[in-house]
Structure 1
């Protein structure tokens, strides 16, 4: 039975995300930046994870995640996102407050607890930031979505997720009234800098930079 420490789980989840679910190699330097630690410490951890067969690691060639590693990483992601739903829906945390708390709760080992949590929440498919929640088998149901700034003038859509889940960005979205589920329509695009004028819920006009709009994901409705 695979047993990972708290730190090993954090590294494995980071490798999973940086590799975009195992599609790419991850460099030691990129992982060092993500984990905010020295490359030498990263190398030591990678050797440990390699011994547990959750990654493939060769010095100077980067890291790839194994199938066993993907399954383990997806279970960590599942727990994290379920706890975020619980914190927002049941304990009334705001969506910019939940990440750090869920980072701690995701390391709880009890599979029975997580399954009962999932059932208690009604088996949600997405977390408060719009990210899909893997099921108990590690399957992830994704939906087609595109950055808001890639929509054309007069096209409409619905906000379903955010790329940037930092507290500062989420608080900004709260301030301007752009939330998961909001209906949006592109009224204008500024040729000079790519900024947008957007109609939200058919009642509020927003002016948004290209960078901000690029971090908002939508599904098109027309």
Structure 2
């Protein structure tokens, strides 16, 4: 049985945590398999092992939920991932669309000492380049209420809090438009196909048309 410190278990825990970080529905084994790109039988076996370590709770054919111990371990991995992404952007010249895969590798490799040095070097950042909150060393996490932009009605005004890093092309498109965490936007029209939003970019008012799939990657303050 692998240690609960193994990279494979860390990847599973982070995926389970990330699934419910911005929406309430728990993750099922089939969804977990899809997100990790592994066979359902592999997920079944790993979930059993994690449950034996006290990291998840699970009943056959039911959702997979983190225990308190599993949440603590997941937050430690999330902290590593997001600090590394921030470091790569701020110190190493990476674009925010380039850091996810690098962080996936490095999060399992760097020591706690190096992670602490990175955190101090960066000035103890609270959010990564995509707006995701960075857990503190003791697992504390500051997050404010958020609304998916794709579900925001016309007239909603808010600040961009977070943009999913799942699709690098979406990140590149938004960067070209000047949209990122901290930008204030207002939904002026919401149709089935797209959203028309007004935003303040570099102090200037701009009008942007966002496809629904792009709006589904953006969270704004509720």
- For the superposition of Structure 1 and Structure 2, which TM-score range results when normalised by the shorter chain? 0.7 to 0.9
Map 1:196-215 → 2, pairs under 5 A: 196-201=196-201, 202-215=204-217
Which shifted more, 168-177 or 108-117? 108-117
Residue 77 of structure 1 is matched in structure 2 by 78
Which shifted more, 205-214 or 70-79? 205-214
Which shifted more, 16-25 or 102-111? 16-25
Q: What secondary structure does 1:203 align onto?
A: strand
CA contact (8 A) 2:161 2:220 kept: yes
CA contact (8 A) 1:16 1:22 kept: no
Structure whose alpha-carbon radius of gyration is higher: 1
Q: How far is the alpha carbon of 1:167 from its aligned partner?
A: 0.7
Task: Render the CA deviation track for 1:179-206: whole Å, top value 9, x for unaligned.
Answer: 22323344x3155645314243333322
Pair 7,205 (structure 1): closer, same or farther in 2 beyond 3 Å:
same
For structure 2, the residue ranges without an aligned partner over 5 or more in a row are none
Q: How far is the alpha carbon of 1:41 from its aligned partner?
A: 1.1
Q: 1:61, 1:216 → 2: CA distance?
A: 29
Pair 42,115 (structure 1): closer, same or farther in 2 beyond 3 Å:
same
Map 1:68-217 → 2, pairs under 5 A: 68-108=69-109, 110-149=111-150, 150=152, 152-153=154-155, 156-163=157-164, 165-186=166-187, 188-189=188-189, 191=191, 193=193, 195-201=195-201, 202-217=204-219
CA contact (8 A) 1:196 1:210 kept: no
Residue 9 of structure 1 is matched in structure 2 by 10
CA contact (8 A) 2:130 2:180 kept: no
Q: 2:138, 2:51 → 1: CA distance?
A: 23
Q: How far is the alpha carbon of 1:3 from its aligned partner?
A: 4.1
Q: What secondary structure does 2:92 align onto?
A: coil
CA contact (8 A) 2:198 2:205 kept: no
Q: What secondary structure does 1:122 align onto?
A: coil
Q: What secondary structure does 1:189 align onto?
A: strand
Q: 2:168, 2:122 → 1: CA distance?
A: 24
CA contact (8 A) 1:198 1:208 kept: no
**Match status 1:219 vs 2:221:** yes
Q: What TM-score, normalized to structure 1?
A: 0.85
Residue 59 of structure 2 is matched in structure 1 by 58
Pair 10,61 (structure 1): closer, same or farther in 2 beyond 3 Å:
same
Tell me the matched-pair count. Answer: 217
Q: How far is the alpha carbon of 1:8 from its aligned partner?
A: 1.3
For structure 1, the residue ranges without an aligned partner over 5 or more in a row are none
CA contact (8 A) 1:22 1:70 kept: no
Q: What TM-score, normalized to structure 2?
A: 0.85
Which shifted more, 205-214 or 99-108? 205-214
Q: What secondary structure does 1:172 align onto?
A: helix
